Copies of this chain bind each other. A is one copy, B any other.
Amino acid sequence: MSDSAPTVAGSTGSSTGTVPDDALVVGVDYGTLSGRAVVVQVSDGTELGSATCEYRHAVLDRELPSGTMLPPEWALQVPADYVEVLKTAVPEAIRTAGVDPARVVGIATDFTACTVLPTDEDGTPLCELEEHQDDPHAYVKLWRHHAAGSQAARINDLAERRGESWLPRYGGAISSEWEFAKALQLLEEAPEIYAEMRYLVEAADWIVWQLCGEYVRNACTTGYKGIYQDGHYPSEEFLAALNPQFATFPQDKLDRPIKQLGEAAGTLTAQAAGWTGLPEGIAVAVGNVDAHVTAPAAQAVEAGQMVAIMGTSTCHVMNSDSLGEVPGMCGVVEGGIVPGLYGYEAGQSGVGDIFGWFVKHGVPPEYHQQAQERGISVHELLTELSGRQGIGEHGLVALDWHSGNRSVLVDHELSGMVVGQTLATRAEDTYRALLEATAFGTRTIVEAFQKSGVPVTEFVVAGGLLKNTLLMQIYADVTNLPLSTIVSEQGPALGSAIHAAVAAGAYPDIHAASAAMGRADKGVYQPIPENVQAYDALFAEYTALHDYFGRGANDVMHRLKAIRRERAGRSAQGEDGAGPVVPDPEPAAASDQAAPV
């Protein structure tokens, strides 16, 4: 039961060999606000029980537990909350499953990313040391910590000027959310913490370290968030040009063995067995990311199967045989989703968030009342009403950039737009236009892949939004792709469980485990030729506006945000005579994490 000698499963997909037929695995999905454990049958992926544990400290975005105030755009977490999930949700999931924990042969985890923390040599988070409890930089920087923007800008500018070969692997720009931007911020704002930390660890790897006592980096976050390409990190010269103290950051703070997804990082320690109630010595898989780990749960790990985890935002992951440099993608990493294939990632910063915003802030009372009387949600009512329309009948086109644009423009200073409103425009019209705008955004991403020689042949949806059948048909019609949907309602946790089964040797690889344990309703939405044609006309309009507002012809969105920031700043300082202003915080930018709406 180690990663060195996997036991090959039979071609039927049932487990054989050293792994018993009735073996179980546990998958744990670490989200932004809670962790969820699920107990799964190795033989067929049946989910037997699950449990959730909310993080006691949730997200620290105003102050530390000690009361120390945080600057704007900070978002921290407390690592002990992650361990609490192991102590409570895992045993509770076993209990609800009503199974003997001795049957569990492996455990795997997935995490938000890039979520990083500074630790000492043995993995103790610096924030757990008495002397650092008041140091914000000693805590976990959550994926949506957005205070490293200036560092990311410097990294991108320099990389572009120097023509760094890794830059196109990230669509032309790395995000301020990622490891090097956060590390540079840490170095420059808290050099003493930077000096003291032995490692800057992805939470995805840190939790595995807690389980098996081994610090192993995983190929997924190391590639997507850690700028590790073709066997190395950014060069010493490059890093030195950013900041001389940063020159040896990878050697000093990152360097550890990197293992492929599906491999075992080690085995469960006695201590972690005590926390979880699982048998000591079972396989612990290497870490993973919530979006990427979902692909095998949706039986979508072959080349050309694009998986969209659609929730508040959308994350797209897809394998391909070939390496292409797709403008505006988040990244391409060899083995980033499954070993042996190139894993691609792209994303839309706002999707369900935009629908939720509209329902909350743009729908008049009658709709709320009618929905309540009928016992349905306002989303359901608007979907029903807008589903009666012919394509284009509302006369609207919208841009889905209320949270900025991740792919393919990589520009968080963009904003939303809607054109075509008349006095006859109703809430269901705008709602449908917003649904369609996100579908057009997805098609833009799909076309960027196609044009870069990375074919997309199927669209597979996971995440909460797949319940909206109108939305699904719109996506099939707009992309002109057959659309499949995941069956599991806890895709990431099931995906982790699949990785646990591979790490435990129950299957030879993720492909085989996915085939046996994953489940998707294949091609349940087929593009309707007449609709495809009707949407082609609207997509042409979307694209013209996309390029006009997004590619520099008219930078009005940038200028409006600049004016807004300047104005809000002056109002906050009381310089305006117009009276007090209610603070109007920027919404959280999108994440790899896709919470259902």
Contact = CB atoms under 8 A, between A and B. Distances in A.
A568 B393 contact: yes
Copies of this chain per assembly: 2
A422 interface: yes
Range, interface on chain A: 35 or more
A110 interface: no
A403 B394 CA distance: 15
Contact of A362 (B364, B559, B567): B364
A579 B386 CA distance: 11
Given A357-B423, A393-B581, A415-B419, A554 B544 contact: yes
Contacts of A426: 361, 584
A67 interface: no
Interface string A544-569: 11001100001011011101101110
A454 to B, nearest CB: 30
A443 interface: no
A395 B563 contact: yes
Interface stretch (A128-136, A318-326, A570-578): A570-578
Interface in A381-437: 387-397, 402-403, 415-427
A182 to B, nearest CB: 23
B415 A422 contact: yes
A353 B424 CA distance: 11
A21 interface: no
Interface string A574-593: 00101111101111000000
Contact of A549 (B393, B403, B418, B419): B419
Interface in A58-108: none
A392 B557 CA distance: 12
Contact of A416 (B402, B422, B566): B422
A394 B564 CA distance: 6
Contacts of A557: 419-420
A540 to B, nearest CB: 9
Contacts of A579: 387-388
Interface string A134-175: 000000000000000000000000000000000000000000
A368 interface: yes
B560 A389 contact: no
A392 B423 contact: no
Interface in A479-512: none
A5 interface: no
A368 B559 CA distance: 33
Q: What are the 8 closest A-B residue pairs judged by CB atoms, nearest first? A: A423-B587, A416-B421, A395-B564, A392-B563, A393-B567, A390-B567, A365-B365, A417-B419
22 contacts: A357-B423, A360-B364, A362-B427, A364-B364, A365-B368, A365-B369, A389-B581, A390-B568, A390-B570, A393-B568, A393-B584, A394-B564, A395-B563, A395-B564, A397-B556, A397-B560, A402-B423, A415-B421, A419-B549, A420-B564, A424-B587, A548-B548
Given A361-B426, A420-B560, A545-B556, 10 more contacts: A387-B578, A388-B580, A390-B571, A390-B576, A415-B421, A415-B422, A416-B425, A418-B418, A424-B587, A541-B560
